[in-house]
Chains A and B, each alone.
Chain A
């Protein structure tokens, strides 16, 4: 079947089997490999992307059902500069192997945008086997305060 996805601001047309997940459509059809395949059953969070601004698991989302805009880790940078959350993850060393990082970053962006009360509960769907969790929390806090000072300036 033919579908249209809006990914990172670009409209993409593709022809897929109806059973194809959003994750496979992104990775194997569109070459967008930031979202990772870690478990295929929604238990690791490495494939987290935003659909309509909310973090969802691309491996449990049927591509054909997606009509809202999709944003992946590749779509966060603006004007060639990493997103403040990406910057914070790098600066706080909120990763080791980094395989989970794309997904962590997408959850973290939502945590910062939605100003969630409990960062750790909000991030609990993203496993990190290297257990860089303390630095992940620090990175979200840093991005949060960056956003707050930016908001204050506005």
Chain B
């Protein structure tokens, strides 16, 4: 087995082009489980830990460019104000030890339907920056996942960063697990209000073959808020509206029964989480106005 340890992004892309079957590894917290259990015997491993371009985040042209190698612990401690939904999600990833090593880039690369980052990124309308020797492309997170543990990544491509516009409104993330720490999501939901565009962002986790947004529910909620003049008035979110939004989010999911929970429970939990997170975010939006006034 080859072990490739490039020290620059350019070199990393060359390695990946030369060894398209190499498995990229950053923190290793996703990949290693598969390696330990022999589920995967890749002919080569591509260590991205020495690529400086991946190791940091910056504000770039009005967007946060979060390097694929930034561990969750830094998302939590440094990006709570710029990526609040993602920071909330990062706080629920595995354990503190995993958050010290695991990265959002790795989470995307694994493309698990249960990845904790995904609902938050979906709700924030984030994009994935993907590189190869052929060039760089940007894919909206909503178009990134193509199946269970599958994505649009071509064999010669690597994830370089996540690109997220700083929030114009409150964000929330909520995740069901049957104990108080170290759980894989039974189901999860990300929510974001985008007052600048008067839109709503949604992300569903662990309740479909891929993480997915609930665009119909989001459009419905944004439209109802518009129709009632609530974006401007910042009046209270009607409980019936929040409930209907929850119902529509639930309808956007396609969960299965498994050992972690039944499809029916996952659907139900999504409707509750969607209702609650929308209400919390809306209340925060209203509070922003009050504190600004």
What would 16 A/B residue contacts be, using CB atoms closer than 8 Å?
A18-B3, A19-B1, A19-B45, A40-B37, A42-B98, A45-B97, A57-B101, A60-B33, A61-B28, A67-B49, A107-B96, A107-B97, A125-B94, A125-B95, A125-B97, A126-B95
B45 touches A62 (CB 8 A): yes
A65 touches B28 (CB 8 A): yes
Encode contact with A along B94-109: 1 for CB under 8 Å, 0 otherwise. 1111101100000000
- What is the CB-to-nearest-CB distance from B123 to chain A, in angstroms, rounded to a whole number? 24
B98 touches A122 (CB 8 A): no
A56 touches B100 (CB 8 A): yes
Do A65 and B97 contact each other (CB < 8 Å), given the known contacts A43-B182, A125-B182? no
A55 touches B97 (CB 8 A): yes
A65 touches B94 (CB 8 A): no
A124 touches B96 (CB 8 A): yes
B2 touches A41 (CB 8 A): no
Given the complex, which residues of A lie within 8 Å of B37, measured CB to CB? 40-41
**Interface membership of B29, Cβ < 8 A:** yes
Encode contact with B along A58-77: 1 for CB under 8 Å, 0 otherwise. 01111011010000000000
Identify the closest chain A residue to B50 (Cβ): A67
**Interface membership of A121, Cβ < 8 A:** yes
Task: For chain A, residues 22 to 60, give those with C-beta under 8 angstroms from any C-beta of chain B.
Answer: 40-43, 45, 48, 54-57, 59-60
- What is the CB-to-nearest-CB distance from A123 to chain B, in angstroms, rounded to a whole number? 8
Given the complex, which residues of A lie within 8 Å of B33, measured CB to CB? 40-42, 60
A18 touches B98 (CB 8 A): no
Given the complex, which residues of B lie within 8 Å of A41, measured CB to CB? 33, 36-37
- What is the CB-to-nearest-CB distance from B29 to chain A, in angstroms, rounded to a whole number? 5
**Interface membership of A113, Cβ < 8 A:** no
Footprint of A on B, CB under 8 Å?
1-3, 5, 25, 27-29, 32-33, 35-37, 45, 47, 49-50, 73, 94-98, 100-101, 180-182
Other contacts beyond A65-B28, A124-B182, A126-B95: 17, CB < 8 A: A18-B1, A18-B3, A40-B36, A40-B37, A42-B94, A42-B97, A45-B97, A55-B96, A57-B97, A60-B32, A62-B32, A62-B45, A65-B5, A65-B47, A67-B50, A124-B181, A125-B97
B36 touches A21 (CB 8 A): yes
- What is the CB-to-nearest-CB distance from A38 to chain B, in angstroms, rounded to a whole number? 13
A17 touches B1 (CB 8 A): yes
Assign chain A's interface to a size class: 20 to 34
A124 touches B47 (CB 8 A): no
B180 touches A124 (CB 8 A): yes
- What is the CB-to-nearest-CB distance from A42 to chain B, in angstroms, rounded to a whole number? 6
Instruction: For the complex, give the distance between the alpha carbons of A55 and B97 in Å.
Output: 5
B100 touches A42 (CB 8 A): no
Instruction: For the complex, give the distance between the alpha carbons of A125 and B102 in Å.
Output: 14
In the complex, which of the residues A57, A64, A67, A121 contacts B98, with contact meaning CB atoms closer than 8 Å? A57
Closest 9 CB pairs of A and B: A125-B95, A124-B181, A18-B3, A60-B32, A41-B33, A54-B100, A57-B97, A125-B97, A65-B47
A65 touches B49 (CB 8 A): yes
Instruction: For the complex, give the distance between the alpha carbons of A29 and B73 in Å.
Output: 30
Given the complex, which residues of A lie within 8 Å of B1, measured CB to CB? 17-19
Instruction: For the complex, give the distance between the alpha carbons of A54 and B25 in Å.
Output: 19
In the complex, which of the residues B29, B36, B47, B182 contacts A64, with contact meaning CB atoms closer than 8 Å? B47
Do A65 and B25 contact each other (CB < 8 Å), given the known contacts A18-B45, A56-B97, A60-B98? yes
In the complex, which of the residues A18, A48, A64 contacts B97, with contact meaning CB atoms closer than 8 Å? A48
